[in-house]
Chains A and B, each alone.
Chain A
Amino acid sequence: MKLFRAFFRSIRDAFKSVVRNFSLSLASISCITITLIIIASAILISFNVKNFTTEIENDVTIVVFLDYDVVEEDRINFENEIKKLDNIDSYTFKSKSEVTQEMIDEYDTFGEILSSWEENENPLKDTYNIKVLDVNKIGETASLIKKIDRVSLVQYGEGLVEQLLQVFGAVQNITIIAAVSLILVTVFLIINTIKLTIFSRKREISIMRLVGASNSRIKFPFVIEGIILGIIGSIIPIVFTIWGYGSLYTHFGGQLFSPIIKLVKPMPFAMYTSAILLITGVIVGMIGSARAVRRYIKI
């Protein structure tokens, strides 16, 4: 019963303190808000860049065209050869007629032209779509495939793919490094801001001790206060994430510059990010105040 009372009184005291020490609270809250916005930006950017990379990696295929006049035997030979290569993930075969059918489905005008051809007149070739395991070695693999018998042409968007991946890799590394260092700096700032606000209440703490408050009874409201500051401090960053990222996504139509660079869908991504922000805010607020009071609570 006494414990219950102490618990509720502590929570009440914490709210009182946040409101009545408004300017101090505001300092801590804005500090937390700024940090969390940085964290939010870092998460949004790095996950998107990661998404670009995986999307592109998934999209990248080596297209192999065999000679016009290949027979079943040549195809079996080709498949055996590529199975020997170690960077091959999977391959799919499309015969001439399938390719034709696809083109007819896609473009009406092609249809008229193509359907007029006889089977042996068909200028299209049997093709293989090959997925590789390591996109970074795609050039090497392509040239090996090129050497196989009866291969007419190998295509994989050479140059572009490698460059894009390099750029994204760099961007991702930079955001991670920037985010981690900024987060460290600002977490340090928050903890110090909270410490300062509590330092200014050192006298209050000593008075509480003087009139018979136990250490936990002094500490608990401060910890709750830290949590409240953390929650309030994460409101703007969460709005920034959910609403801001949502409208950014809609504005760009879900892609950046070109359809192959796809943005991460806002739901549930923005929700997870918000949860991370809220938890971070609460933990940082809590740790900041708990550590600060502990210094003044010793007798």
Chain B
Amino acid sequence: MTSSPSPSRKALSKIACNRLQKELSEWQVNPPTGFKHKVTDNLQKWIIEVTGAPGTLYANETYNLQVEFPQHYPMESPQVIFVPPAPLHPHIYSNGHICLDILYDSWSPAMTVSSVCISILSMLSSSPEKQRPTDNDRYVKNCKNGRSPKETRWWFHDDKV
């Protein structure tokens, strides 16, 4: 699997378009450190190259993020995954899905692609060891047909259970 199918492949609303054009032009002026937007003519799907920060486990490694925008972005969160091969990380599944709260229920429309990227890099940078989530195999198996991580129920869970 190289990519998930789009969330629903509905064209961007006009508001989403305006907002993304603005984000793109700001990105071009001031891209977040460690990231490179691979230019395409597709506003709805960005491929972003990320380079591991110096001094971390992922230094000098590069990976590709795929960011797909739903019709009602930024009300709805973008779908963000690593294009496999994904970095080995306790919160990143081998199919590229990322367990990061702001991508799902903690999303806020005041966040941007740029701020999401910075969060992902900081998640990578703070990793103490290179390993997959313990439930990786089961999860990946369940994601048949390249399902979107937004369809996964990432939910809180009480420790005492």
A and B assemble together? no
Residues of chain A having any CB pair with chain B under 8 Å:
none
Q: Which residues of B contact A (CB under 8 A)?
A: none
